[in-house]
Amino acid sequence: MIEPISGFSKLSKEEKIDWVTTHYTQNKEQAKKIISTYWNQNNSIQQLHDEFIENTLTNLYIPLGVAPNFLINGKLHVIPMAIEESSVIAAASKAAKFWLKRGGFKTEVLGTEKVGQVHFLFKGDFQKLNSFFTYLKPKLIADSASLTTNMEKRGGGITDIILRDKSTQLSNYFQLHATFETKDAMGANFINSCLEQFATTLKAEVATYTDFSDEEKNIEVIMSILSNFVPNCTVRAEVSCPVEELKLTSDLSPQQTADKIIQAINIAQVEPYRAVTHNKGIMNGIDAVVLATGNDFRAIEAGVHAFACKNGQYGSLSHAEIDKGIFKFWIELPLALGTVGGLTNLHPLVKLNLEILQNPTAEELMQIIAVAGLAQNFAAISSLVTIGIQKGHMKMHLLNILNQLGASEIEKNKLVSHFKTNAITHHKVKLQLKKLRK
């Protein structure tokens, strides 16, 4: 039986690797070899990676590719994408090329407001609490001045603080609900620092507020934390063309294609089982760029999926319609991003990816990432309503299957050629490889 370990974080990297491989792998030496294979031979780069997180053993590589030909507001972009799923970059590139000849993508930032809250319990008269808040609010802002000075110089800072009564949903529960502008920073550390100062000021001022009874002075702060739900930090991306230009397949007329795309999106609006997969496809494009630019894809995922429920039921993030003979396809979603701070200043590849994107501001990056999601969605829906999703996906997945089966380079070339005109399944590839080897 393996015993719990004490002081693991204080071990050297080599000692951690030795302990893990000794106790939790079947072949210790083989495991160590795999771990060392994924080390970066540049010691300074490896040290940088080791210090991003805790208890680092090695690096887990995810392929970094690019999708070219994205025309966004008249400016041509190549978009870096970090993702392990085959066909995503190919699909995005195909959509970009299609819309390149039809005016490209149009984008607009609708808002950049971010949110944080101090959650607390108060037992007493709400009217007295409300009066206290009127007195408290300027003090909250004044006491945070040392934290906000630099952000204010860049045009950001605290934009508002309101008192929210949530006691009908949870007994005695109230919030200081604060909004922020963080410019090119994602702003998590800035927001959380401000919120913790708010909590400190709240407790200090309550203690000396003479209109409160002793019980009312016993406010309990539960937590102070930013929210990743940012419904007012949103971006819109759109493409459009005359319906007659929507010729994607010889089997359907442009009008039929447009109608089927709209119906597919309508289905995702009303059927959550479809909407989840529909939006997952959008996030294939979004997460790949978020990850490539050193942003927090978990926060983006959480906020986007909450936004997809804003009408009371989980639904599609994208929309389509025909208006006076023009097919329109668009997306609106929240994206709280940064282009300064965090990994953007530390990770060499992240810095290079931002350079490839022509060093965008946070607002420009919002627009680029929204476009990546819209392009991916257009590619997926177009395939679904015409040839089906598997033909293109399996074509891109073929090399993964061949690698799993241990095919040589010569075998890969022959089988790629064979399956250009034949349906691809794992079983068929396996049989064809066996036949080739005979």
pLDDT over 90 percentage in the chain: 83
At 397 the pLDDT is 65
- Cα–Cα dist 80/350, whole Å: 10
- Cα–Cα dist 142/205, whole Å: 13
**Residue 142: pLDDT above 60?**
yes
Q: According to the CATH classification, is domain 114-227 in 2.70.150.10? A: no
pLDDT band, residue 296 (cuts 50/70/90): very high
Where along the chain do its domains lie? 8-50, 64-109+234-387, 114-227, 393-437
pLDDT band, residue 388 (cuts 50/70/90): low
Give catalytic residues, as residue numbers.
85, 280, 296, 393
Largest CA distance in the chain: 92
Q: CA 253: distance to chain centroid?
A: 35
At 391 the pLDDT is 58
pLDDT band, residue 403 (cuts 50/70/90): confident
* DSSP 8-state code for residue 347: -
Structure tokens given for 347: 């990770």
The residue-averaged pLDDT of 13-40 equals 96
**Residue 393: pLDDT above 80?**
no
Chain segment 198-256, per-residue pLDDT in tens: 999 999 999 999 999 999 999 999 999 999 999 999 999 999 999 999 999 888 999 99
More confident residue, 148 or 400: 148
pLDDT over 70 percentage in the chain: 97
- Cα–Cα dist 116/175, whole Å: 10
250-255 long-range contacts, CB within 8 A, separation 24+: 251/386, 252/385, 252/386
**Residue 259: pLDDT above 90?**
yes
Chain segment 355-383, per-residue pLDDT in tens: 999 999 999 999 999 999 999 999 999 99
At 154 the pLDDT is 95
* 329 touches 318 (CB < 8 A): yes
**Residue 118: pLDDT above 80?**
yes
For residue 179, list its beta bridge partners: 115, 160
- Cα–Cα dist 256/89, whole Å: 27
The residue-averaged pLDDT of 101-117 equals 98
Common-topology check for domains 64-109+234-387 and 114-227 = no
Q: According to the CATH classification, is domain 64-109+234-387 in 3.90.770.10? A: yes
What's the predicted TM-score (pTM) here?
0.89
**Residue 390: pLDDT above 60?**
no
Nearest-CA neighbor of 223 among 336, 121, 113?
121
**Residue 97: pLDDT above 60?**
yes
At 413 the pLDDT is 79
- For residue 408, how many other CB atoms are within 10 A of its CB? 11
Chain segment 316-328, per-residue pLDDT in tens: 999 999 999 999 9
At 417 the pLDDT is 76
Chain segment 181-194, per-residue pLDDT in tens: 999 999 999 999 99
Phi, psi of 39 (to 5 degrees): -70, 150
At 220 the pLDDT is 97
Nearest-CA neighbor of 347 among 339, 335, 358?
339
- Cα–Cα dist 378/384, whole Å: 10
pLDDT band, residue 342 (cuts 50/70/90): confident
Please give the mean pLDDT across all residues of the chain: 93
**Residue 49: pLDDT above 80?**
yes
At 252 the pLDDT is 92
**Residue 387: pLDDT above 80?**
no
The residue-averaged pLDDT of 301-317 equals 97
